[in-house]
Amino acid sequence: MRKNKKLKLVCLLLLLVGIVSIGSYVYLHRSVPNVVANGGGAEDTSFVKNMTDEELKEYLQEKADKSKFHLKLDTNMVFNAANEVGTVNILNPASNQYGIRVQTRLEGQNKVIYDSGLIKPKQYVEAGELKANLKRGVYKTQSTVTYYELADSSTKIGETAVVGQLSVNN
């Protein structure tokens, strides 16, 4: 009888130790939820609650449009001669919120051979001049498109690289 009581006590103790061990493991290895907080300088969006579905849709579309860069660039620049005006075809569409500037270099070189200057939205540049005297041939180019704030053209927003080619026919 005494042996039976001891055995029950040992089993109860082992069960208690097991429960405490499992509880401790679960407590120590639980995942803490990630808390996403609105940053101190973030935009106040409390007015969104009072918008109709249509107004909210327009607001979100405007935000999305401002976060995108648009550009139409002919990647094949053509010049009859290096010292003549050639075809460049660059469009900054009306949907764009930023001014753009295209600077073209020959592949592997740092010298700018074409610079569009600042192109505002709704502007199209069809022709341009080279800043270098190139011989007849077809050259691989890399154009750097830089996006600028319209209110302050010295404020750079972003940059994109476009690979293309330049043909000098004579």
Specify the residue for token string 């001049």: 129
Nearest to 126 by CA among 73, 80, 168: 73
Residue 93: is its pLDDT beyond 80?
A: yes
Q: What angle do CA 67, 73, 75 make, to 5 degrees?
A: 135
Q: Are 77 and 141 in contact (CB under 8 A)?
A: yes
Classify 69-168 by CATH class: mainly beta
Dihedral angle of Cα 35, 40, 42, 48, to the nearest 10 degrees: 70
Structural domain boundaries of the chain?
69-168
As a whole number, the mean pLDDT across the chain is 85
Sorted by sequence, the CB contacts under 8 Å of residue 99 that are 6+ apart come out as 92, 118, 119, 120, 121, 147, 148, 149, 150, 153
Per-residue pLDDT, 113: 95
What's the pLDDT at 107?
93
Count of alpha carbons within 13 Å of 114, Cβ hemisphere only?
35
Q: What is the pLDDT of residues 14-70, one digit of tens each?
A: 999 999 999 988 888 887 666 555 555 556 666 677 788 888 888 777 776 666 667
Render pLDDT for 134-145 as a digit per residue (tens, 0 to 9): 999 999 999 999
* pLDDT score at 38: 52
What mean pLDDT is predicted for residues 118-147?
A: 93
Enter the DSSP assignment of 119.
Answer: B
Report pTM.
Answer: 0.61
Question: In the numeric block, which tokens belong to residue 57?
Answer: 């849709």
